[in-house]
Amino acid sequence: MDMRIETARMVVRDFTPNDLNDLQEILGDSETMQNCEPAYSLEKTGRFLHEFCIGKRGALAAELKETHKVIGYILFKPWGDDVYEIGWIFNKKYWRQGYAYESCSAVLQYGFSAMKLHKVVAETVDGEKSVGLMEKLGMKREGVQRSQTQNNEGNWVDLYLYGSLQDEFQLTKS
């Protein structure tokens, strides 16, 4: 099934091979990737796009309606029975303009209403921006794994775990 969700300013859709350069702008930027992993080379982005985003259908492209530019990568993949994981990385030129919230909120709505998911989970080491967006999306903190993983500089950092249940999400959106 092809995924296509439209919002006021965005189209969230399956990735295509034509998205390589826009995805490289996101994944190839060290500031954007500081809470994920080291920035990707063009070759690594190409492999990731073809193998994971397209081949395994593990992520969605967040495209600006007006320009058709992909400005965001949204991880959206099965985690268990009727449970999905969501995550996001957006081009830093478009930060703080509501695009991630608009896109991810639409994906959550689609997951809970069209796919009838029971739960959507998310995790981050970014205790500020990503946690703030998770909470704005109505997700609840389920725990913090202290000093759980290493960041790009090799320092041990906390991992914040969030989740949203279908019945809770429907209440916040009605």
Q: What is the CATH number of the domain that holds 57?
A: 3.40.630.30
For residues 73-96, average pLDDT: 95
Give the total number of structural domains in the chain: 1
Look at residue 153 in the predicted model and tell me its pLDDT.
84
Query: Is 156 strand, coil or helix?
Result: strand
- pLDDT higher than 50, residue 174: no
pLDDT of residue 120: 97
The mean pLDDT of 23-51, rounded to a whole number, is 95
Question: In which domain, by residue range, is 80 found?
Answer: 4-173
Question: pTM above the 0.85 mark?
Answer: yes
Locate tokens 């959507």: which residue? 120
* Widest distance between CA atoms in the chain: 44
Element (H, E) at 54: none
| pLDDT tens per residue, range 9-30 | 999 999 999 999 999 999 999 9
Residue 5 has pLDDT above 70, yes or no: yes
Element (H, E) at 166: helix 166-173
